[in-house]
Structure 1
Amino acid sequence: MMKYGKVTLLAGLIVPGAVFAQIGVGDALGASEADVRAALKAQGYVITEVELEDGEIEVEATRDGKAYEIEVSAETGIVLEIELDDEDDSNDS
């Protein structure tokens, strides 16, 4: 029994350190809006908008002065797409 306790303890120590890395496609954030918000906030993102649409949690957020659109599966909690918003696109004449 002690063997499993050590594995669980090690897993608990490793996972929290990973939250400081930037998220990527395929990462698990959680399947609810609250889970996604918490995971992104823990990684330094400032959330500006969240919508649930077509089975996806769509998040608009900023981090380090850059704006992102992040799509997460509401079924699996997996990041499906991350798009860096290019503000130059909105300045077209």
Structure 2
Amino acid sequence: MLIEQIRLDNGCALGLSFEMQKYPLLVIRAEKGFLMCGYLNINAAETLGDTAAKVKGVQSFEDMLKAQVVEVTRFARELGIEPGMTGKEALEKMF
């Protein structure tokens, strides 16, 4: 497992990368929520009351920051996070 600090304009997030067989499982955790890769389930995050946004087709933290958000929980929407914004834009709203 790789743990990395990711410096953003509004704060410092924590990136977690776990190598799977073909692609990594990636999460970037900010103060109020997290950005997840396609391995994880947005419906589970919603049910658990998490603020989360999902990106797909990523293999690194940098990819996650550049990728477009494809799904969000209602808690993320309350922070102004919407599908179509970049992962970086979504994370900036989670501080």
Scaled by the length of structure 1, the TM-score of the pair is 0.30
- Which protein is bigger by CA-based radius of gyration? 1
Scaled by the length of structure 2, the TM-score of the pair is 0.30
